[in-house]
C-alpha cells in the first residue's frame, strides 16, 4: 500500500517537474489593466485622470480617498503572484520596492510586463519629471502639464507663506514600518522616496532634529535618539498614529519622547504619509500645509 502511495507521488512530481519549460504567452485582454504597487504612482495616475486603467493597488496606497474602490493585492513586500494575476493585469507598475523575491521571480518567469518609471520624485522638480513621464505613458500629456504648472504656482505661494514664520522648529518624524512592525525615526536627509520627508520639512521652514546615521530610517529602540535630539515638534505618520489610537500618553510612552520639548508643549501631530513622505502633484500646497502644522503652537 505504502509503495503504491510513493509511486503515485513520484509519478505526479516527475510529471509536474517536466513541465518546466515555457515560451512567451500573449496576454488575454485588449484593454490596459494595471496593477500599480506604489503610493506615489497611484496618486499621480488619479491626478492625471487615468485611474480607470488601474485594477489593483497595494496596501500602502491611501491617496486619493477614491482608491478604496480598487482591489488591494496586499502589502508591497508580501505579495502573492497568483493574487496579482487573478486581476488579469496587462502590466504591473512598481517602483522597485516589491517582494518577496521569489514572487518577483515568478512574475518575471511568466513574462508579465513590469514597468518602472525612470524619473525619481526626490524633489519638486523630480516630481514634475515623473508626472510628465507618466503623462506620456498614459497619454494624458496636457493634464500632466497642468499638474506641473499648478505645482509650480503652489510651491511659489507656499514658500512665500513660509517666509512669514520667524522660527525654525526642530522636527522629529516618526514612521511605522509595517514590514518589521516597529516604529522608525527619520533622520536628516532621508525618509520616504529620495529623502522627501527631510526636504519637505526643510522647505516648510523646519529643521530635522535627528541626525542621519547613514542608515535611513532607524528603529526606535534607544530612547536616546529622540531624547538627544529634543525636538520641538513631533510628527507621526497616519498609520503609526492611528495604531496608538491617537492617545497622547501612549505616544509620549514611545522611547525618548516624554522628555522632549514637543511632549512638554503638546506639539505632537498626526500627518498623512502621502503628504509628507514623497514629492508628488500636491507637494506644492503640501509645503504650506506642513509649515502650518509644525509652526502650530
Partner 1 sequence: MTTQHGRRQLILIALVAVSLLVLIASIRYGAIDFSMTEISRALTSLLPGRPEPTLDQRIFLELRFPRAILCLLVGASLGVGGTLMQALFRNPIVEPGLVGTSSGAAFGSALFFVLGGVFHIGTSLWSLPVAACAGGIISTYLVFLLARPREDGRASIVMLLLTGLAVNALFMSAIGFLSYIARDPQARSITFWSLGTLSGASWKAVEIVALSTILGSIVAVRYAKQLNALMIGEEEATYLGVNVNRLKWIILSVNVVIVAVATAFTGVISFVGLVVPHILRMLGGADNRFLIVGSALTGATLLTLADLIARLSVRPAELPIGIVTSAVGVPVFIFLLRRRQYVF
Q: Which residues bind partner 1 (CB under 8 A)?
A: 1-2, 5-6, 9-10, 12-13, 16-17, 19-20, 22-28, 56, 59, 71-75, 77-88, 97, 99-103, 105-106, 109-110, 179-181, 216, 219
CB of 104 to partner 1, least distance (A): 10
Q: Min. distance of Cβ 23 from partner 1 in angstroms?
A: 6
For the record, the C-alpha cell of 90 comes out as 496587462
- Environment class of 166 (CB within 10 Å of its CB; exposed 0-12, middle 13-18, buried 19+): exposed
DSSP 296: -
Nearer to partner 1, 20 or 66 (CB): 20
Which spans in the chain are helix H? 2-17, 39-48, 81-85, 101-109, 124-137, 141-164, 196-203, 224-229, 238-243, 248-252, 261-264, 273-276, 283-294
For residue 275, the minimal CB distance to partner 1 (Å) is 23
Q: Residue written as cell 489593466? A: 33
Q: Which is nearer to partner 1, 2 or 297 (CB)?
A: 2
Phi/psi at 176 (5° precision): -100, 120
Residue with the three cell numbers 514597468: 115
Residue 36 DSSP SS3: strand
CA pair distance 37, 72, nearest whole angstrom? 9
- Which of residues 44 and 107 has its CB atom nearest to partner 1 in the complex? 107
At closest approach, how far in Å is the CB of 201 from partner 1?
A: 22
CB of 101 to partner 1, least distance (A): 6
Query: Shortest gap between Cβ of 62 and partner 1 (angstroms)?
Result: 16
Q: Is the dihedral of CA 132, 98, 197, 244 positive or negative?
A: positive
Give the nearer residue to partner 1 in terms of CB position, either 97 or 153. Answer: 97
* Sheet architecture: strand order including 114-115: 54-57, 34-37, 91-94, 114-115
Closest CB to partner 1 among residues 17, 245? 17
Neighbour tally for 143: CB within 10 Å: 16
How far apart are CB 286 and partner 1 at their closest, in Å?
Answer: 25
Minimum distance of partner 1 from residue 19's CB (angstroms): 5
Gyration radius of the chain over CA positions: 23
Q: Which is nearer to partner 1, 49 or 99 (CB)?
A: 99
φ/ψ of 201, rounded to 5, equals: -60, -45
* The three cell numbers locating residue 201: 520639512
Closest to partner 1 by CB, 18 or 166: 18
The residue (of 83 and 223) whose beta carbon lies closer to partner 1 is 83
Amino acid at each position: 500500500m505504502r509503495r503504491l502511495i510513493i509511486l503515485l507521488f513520484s509519478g505526479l512530481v516527475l510529471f509536474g517537474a517536466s513541465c518546466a519549460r515555457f515560451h512567451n504567452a500573449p496576454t488575454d485582454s485588449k484593454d490596459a489593466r494595471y496593477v500599480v504597487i506604489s503610493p506615489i504612482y497611484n496618486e499621480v495616475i488619479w491626478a492625471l485622470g487615468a485611474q480607470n486603467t488601474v485594477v489593483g493597488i497595494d496596501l500602502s496606497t491611501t491617496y486619493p480617498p477614491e482608491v478604496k474602490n480598487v482591489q488591494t493585492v496586499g502589502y508591497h513586500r508580501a505579495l502573492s503572484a497568483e493574487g496579482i494575476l487573478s486581476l488579469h493585469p496587462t502590466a504591473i507598475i512598481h517602483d522597485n520596492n516589491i517582494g518577496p523575491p521569489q514572487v518577483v521571480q515568478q512574475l518575471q518567469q511568466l513574462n508579465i510586463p513590469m514597468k518602472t518609471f525612470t524619473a525619481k520624485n526626490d524633489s519638486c522638480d523630480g516630481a514634475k519629471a515623473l508626472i510628465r513621464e507618466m503623462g506620456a505613458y498614459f497619454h494624458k500629456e496636457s493634464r500632466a502639464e497642468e499638474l506641473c504648472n499648478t505645482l509650480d504656482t503652489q510651491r511659489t505661494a507656499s514658500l512665500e507663506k513660509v517666509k512669514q514664520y520667524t522660527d525654525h522648529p526642530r522636527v522629529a518624524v516618526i514612521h511605522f514600518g509595517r514590514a518589521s512592525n516597529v516604529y522608525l525615526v527619520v533622520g536628516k536627509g532621508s525618509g520616504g522616496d529620495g529623502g522627501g520627508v527631510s526636504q519637505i520639512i526643510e522647505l516648510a521652514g523646519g529643521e530635522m532634529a535627528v541626525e542621519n546615521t547613514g542608515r535611513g530610517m532607524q528603529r526606535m529602540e534607544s530612547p536616546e535618539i529622540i531624547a538627544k535630539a529634543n525636538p520641538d515638534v513631533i510628527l507621526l505618520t497616519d498609520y503609526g498614529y492611528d495604531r496608538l489610537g491617537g492617545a497622547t500618553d501612549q505616544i509620549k510612552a514611545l522611547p525618548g519622547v516624554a522628555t522632549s520639548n514637543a511632549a512638554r508643549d503638546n506639539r505632537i501631530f498626526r500627518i498623512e504619509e502621502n503628504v509628507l513622505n514623497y514629492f508628488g502633484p500636491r507637494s506644492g500646497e503640501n509645503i504650506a500645509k506642513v509649515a502650518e502644522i509644525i509652526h502650530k503652537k
